[in-house]
Structure 1
Amino acid sequence: MRMFVCLLLAACLTGTCAAESARSSAADTDFVRKASSGNLSEIALGKLAADQASSDDVKKYAARMVADHTDANEKLGKLAGSKGIQIAAAPDAAQQQEIDRLKGLDGAAFDRAYSDLMVKSHKLTAGLYELEATKGEDTEIRAFAHDTLPVLREHEKLADSLPPF
């Protein structure tokens, strides 16, 4: 027991105390949950667009969102699982509100609202990933964010280039 206490004290004095580790990993865990929730939201919105969009450009963009965000969430899920982090099971409450709002639209109104939301959400998501890619404590999670960031920026550019409705 004395040895354990000495090792714990030494860890705290060198800056590797469990409390400090918990703080640093909390930010990475928060990123994983927000990123996975965002992926689930993009997938749900993309599937909704397949049914309710009138523009072929929007439908094509939405299909890409479903494919890319499904792939990203699978990779994130494997990474999170290896670290004992639980990914989100559903979009967060605010994201679900946006999904529900878009469910009530169709045609050009849906296309406009969806493309506007995609620009906005990808700006926010890129910011989240950029923060993790530069400040994340866990090297593997940080690398995931860094590697995914260019795809998110491309999504934002593509959403911004959708025709006005």
Structure 2
Amino acid sequence: MKRSALTRLGMLAGLTTIALLPATAHAAAPSEQDTQYLRTIHQVNLAAVEIGQSAQGKQDVDQGVRDLGGEMVSNHTQLDEEVTRVAGEVNVSLPDAPDQEQQDLVDRLNGLDGGEFDTAFVESQLMGYAQVIEVNNAEIAQGTDEQVVDLAQEADPVLNDLYTSLQQLAASLGLPTSPSPGVSPTLPAPTVSPSTPLPAQS
């Protein structure tokens, strides 16, 4: 009986070890590329939600601006849920708020109304989305953690669809449909170079 009990305990310990293998196998820290991507895309999501809410809440701006603001809130909220989930699984801590440059843009847009808001919103977001697509492309090409790369691949059509909507909105407002130099974006310039090209800008 004693030997049988010890045998069962040994088998249980072996099964426990096997059950823990997947978690242990993923315990390796993600690369700096993967880590920076998760933190950057999270802050982009936070800033985009705030900017979208600002656009939604203004009554004297173009209806297309309000509508796109609503899409930004919805899409970036859903995307950030996935970012937060993946970051938790790979043990990457995320910032609690947008960075200072992003927050400055949010504050500036909150202080504008009417046509001034429309123009600043479109110009800043064209620049911001062009840059975040570049960051996203870099993660797809250079990332090493499978979960993080998969996340970037899922984010790709979301970001590109919003960018296309911005270009269409810009055209309807008589504004340039590609980023203008010197316009404040929603995130700093990427620190990694993509291996895949940006979408065509008309």
| 1:147 to 2:154 alignment | yes
Which residue of structure 1 lines up, in the alignment, with residue 83 of structure 2?
76
| 1:42 to 2:48 alignment | yes
Does the CA contact (< 8 Å) of 2:33 and 2:142 recur in 1?
A: no
| 1:93 to 2:122 alignment | no
Q: CA deviation at 1:88?
A: 2.2
Which residue of structure 2 lines up, in the alignment, with residue 114 of structure 1?
121
1:86 and 1:111 map into 2 onto residues whose CA distance is: 35
SS of 1:137 mapped into structure 2: coil
**RMSD value, Cα:** 1.4
1:127 and 1:141 map into 2 onto residues whose CA distance is: 16
Question: What does 1:7-26 correspond to in 2, within 5 Å?
Answer: 25-26=31-32
The CA deviation string for residues 110-154 of structure 1, in whole angstroms up to 9 with x for no partner, is 011101111111100000000001100111101110121121111
2:154 and 2:112 map into 1 onto residues whose CA distance is: 34
Larger Rg, first or second structure (1 or 2): 2
- The total of aligned residue pairs comes to 144
Which residue of structure 2 lines up, in the alignment, with residue 127 of structure 1?
134
2:136 and 2:152 map into 1 onto residues whose CA distance is: 5
The CA deviation string for residues 73-116 of structure 1, in whole angstroms up to 9 with x for no partner, is 00110110011111221111111111111111011110111011
| 1:138 to 2:145 alignment | yes
Does the CA contact (< 8 Å) of 2:87 and 2:94 recur in 1?
A: yes
Q: Could you list the structure 1 runs, at least 4 aligned residues long, displaced by more than 2 angstroms after superposition.
A: none
With the length of structure 1 as denominator, give the TM-score of the two structures.
Answer: 0.83
Which residue of structure 2 lines up, in the alignment, with residue 103 of structure 1?
110
With the length of structure 2 as denominator, give the TM-score of the two structures.
Answer: 0.68
1:28 and 1:46 map into 2 onto residues whose CA distance is: 26
Q: Which has the higher helix share?
A: 1
Q: CA deviation at 1:26?
A: 1.7
Gaps of 5+ in 1: 1-20
2:56 and 2:148 map into 1 onto residues whose CA distance is: 31
The one of 165, 173, 179 aligned to 1:164: 173
The one of 18, 28, 37 aligned to 1:31: 37
Q: CA deviation at 1:70?
A: 0.3
AA aligned opposite 2:82: K
SS of 1:161 mapped into structure 2: helix
Identity of aligned residues (%): 28
